[in-house]
């Protein structure tokens, strides 16, 4: 890839290859960075470290592209169809980098683009002159171009380090977009139509038990939806509604989306996980709303009070109460002989795991998965079950991947160990639930074990009621 490593047409002496052990030594060296220096030298340290980060990013790019090429070649040799050869590579990159599989896929695409189509950009990152983020912007803004045109932008902007010198993030991405528009105006138009397929709705927590519901929509639809809410606010105001415009718009949004007559009636189904101490004894241990995150114990009790007292038939939906194991804070387990997870057990996995169990993956749970496959003798139980997102479940079924409940932890916590095709092992635990002890090594007492049955029954009754 680079002259001094590709060899054939280079006369330079190849420096000795840097090993993984060397890299670890560098880490130790950085931890011991000389602190007894002048301020002028501190500035130089900052600059050199920044260059090192870029160079490390470039090295990751080359390693990633090599891994991709090697895995694909090995699969091609085994006769795996071309469309299947790349399966799970991004997920392995993600696990190694402690990032979500989604981002792993992006790292892989970034590496392939730089190595195969943008050599000047890669060289600039390798030198430490261009940051990883700015290279990402260049890759992103040229994604709509043909390989040839992308190569032209690469040469135009990065062959001479002076071209981008002094440019900030915005200027770099503008320069790339300008060059792309000039080379292929049509590509920009088709890119806009492709962007429409990215439309989505997401939910994330906001302070004070509020939440952001966000829709990424084509501009015409977004404007139309906002105008409709705005018109509803005008109408309400004209009729003397005391609520503010913003309040009316927010309430109207909820009413129209959920089909409820008023925004204040009970949500269709909100799952609340809390300890009995918080529920009955006024304890302060926070509760969890599944799909949202922690809420204070007071808020949880308040929610329960409001929604269990309502006489409104539309508000008959209820808050599902789940009790957590008093010692380990884990939801109680249950077993079934079924091939697939029965609805109640599936729900339990969703409550316990909350998000995909793949480490560093924050995606919502979509599949109840047998950690050890049914075909390999895995049972349909909470212990062998894990909640996975769609993508991770697909990856896990690829050849060379395996998973199983890891029993040796001895702490009462549920642990799944996933093994990747390279033999690396990663362990995941569900997020802590209300009532989890600060000392995670504390073992379940006899009383706690006895209580499992009680909670188990409680849980089943709730599910039966559903």
Q: Binding residues for Zn ion, per CB under 5 A?
A: 356, 358, 361, 363, 389, 392
| CB of 386 vs Zn ion, minimal distance in Å | 10
Range 72-89 burial, b when 16+ CB lie within 10 A, else e: beebeeeebeeeebbbbb
Report residue 47 as tokens.
């600059």
SS3 state of residue 363: coil
Judged by beta carbon, residue 105 or residue 326, the one nearer Zn ion is 105
356 or 433: whose CB is closer to Zn ion?
Answer: 356
Q: How far is the CB of 97 from Zn ion (least distance, A)?
A: 15
The distance of closest approach from Cβ of residue 84 to Zn ion in the complex, given in angstroms and rounded to an integer, is 20
Cβ nearer to Zn ion, comparing 287 with 356: 356
Q: Considering beta carbons, is residue 356 or 416 the nearer one to Zn ion?
A: 356
Token code pair at residue 113: 């683009």
- Nearest approach in angstroms of CB 361 to Zn ion is 3
At 348 the three-state DSSP class reads helix
Least Å distance, CB 102 to Zn ion, is 8
State the DSSP code for 271: E
* Residues 318, 314, 312, 229, Cα dihedral to 10°: 110
* C-beta closer to Zn ion: residue 266 or 358: 358
- In the complex with Zn ion, the residue whose CB is nearer, 336 or 363, is 363
- In whole angstroms, what is the distance from residue 362 CA to residue 389 CA? 9
**What is the Cα–Cα distance from 256 to 411, expressed in whole angstroms?**
47
Q: Closest approach of Cβ 412 to Zn ion, in Å? A: 25
Measured from the CB of residue 39, what is the shortest distance to Zn ion in angstroms? 46
Task: Locate 188 and state its tokens.
Answer: 């920009």
Pairing label, strands 270-274, 287-289: antiparallel
Contact 336, 452 (CB under 8 A): no
Distance CA 400, CA 397 (A): 9
Nearer Cβ to Zn ion, position 101 or 412? 101
């Amino acid at each position: 890839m680079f002259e001094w490593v590709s060899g054939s047409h280079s006369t330079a002496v190849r420096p000795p290859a840097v090993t993984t052990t060397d890299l670890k030594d560098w880490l130790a060296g950085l931890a011991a960075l000389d602190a007894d220096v002048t301020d002028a030298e501190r500035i130089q340290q900052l600059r050199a470290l920044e260059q090192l980060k870029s160079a490390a990013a470039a090295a990751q790019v080359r390693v990633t592209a090599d891994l991709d090429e090697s895995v694909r070649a090995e699969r091609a040799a085994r006769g795996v169809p071309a469309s299947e050869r790349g399966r799970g590579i991004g997920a392995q990159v993600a696990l190694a980098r402690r990032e979500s599989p989604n981002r792993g896929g992006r790292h892989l695409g970034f590496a392939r683009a730089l190595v195969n189509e943008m050599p000047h950009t890669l060289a600039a990152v390798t030198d430490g002159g261009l940051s990883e983020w700015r290279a990402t912007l260049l890759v992103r803004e040229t994604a709509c171009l043909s390989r040839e045109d992308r190569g032209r932008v690469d040469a135009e902007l990065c062959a001479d380090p002076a071209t981008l010198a002094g440019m900030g993030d915005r200027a770099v991405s503008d320069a790339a977009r300008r060059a792309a528009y000039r080379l292929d105006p049509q590509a920009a138009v088709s890119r806009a139509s492709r962007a429409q397929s990215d439309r989505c709705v997401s939910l994330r927590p906001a302070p004070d038990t509020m939440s952001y519901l966000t829709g990424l929509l084509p501009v015409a639809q977004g404007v139309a939806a906002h105008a409709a809410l705005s018109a509803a606010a005008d109408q309400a105001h004209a009729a003397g509604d005391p609520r503010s415009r913003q309040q009316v718009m927010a309430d109207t949004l909820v009413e129209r989306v959920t089909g409820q007559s008023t925004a204040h009636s009970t949500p269709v189904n909100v799952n609340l996980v809390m300890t009995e101490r918080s529920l009955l004894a006024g304890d302060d241990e926070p509760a969890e709303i599944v799909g949202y995150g922690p809420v204070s114990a007071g808020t949880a009790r308040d929610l329960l009070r409001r929604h269990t007292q309502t006489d409104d038939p539309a508000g008959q939906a209820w808050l599902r109460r789940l009790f957590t194991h008093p010692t380990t804070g884990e939801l109680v387990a249950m077993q079934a002989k079924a091939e697939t997870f029965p609805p109640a057990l599936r729900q339990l996995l969703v409550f316990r795991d909350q998000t995909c169990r793949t480490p560093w993956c924050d995606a919502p749970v979509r599949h109840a998965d047998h950690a050890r496959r049914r075909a390999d003798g895995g049972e349909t139980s909470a212990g062998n079950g894990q909640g996975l997102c769609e993508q991770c479940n697909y990856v896990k079924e690829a050849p060379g991947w395996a998973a199983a409940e890891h029993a040796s932890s001895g702490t009462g916590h549920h642990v799944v160990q996933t093994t990747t095709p390279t033999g690396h092992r990663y362990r995941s635990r569900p997020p802590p639930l209300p009532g989890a002890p600060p000392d995670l090594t504390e073992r379940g007492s006899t009383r706690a074990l006895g209580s499992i049955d009680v909670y188990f029954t409680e849980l089943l009754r709730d599910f039966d009621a559903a």
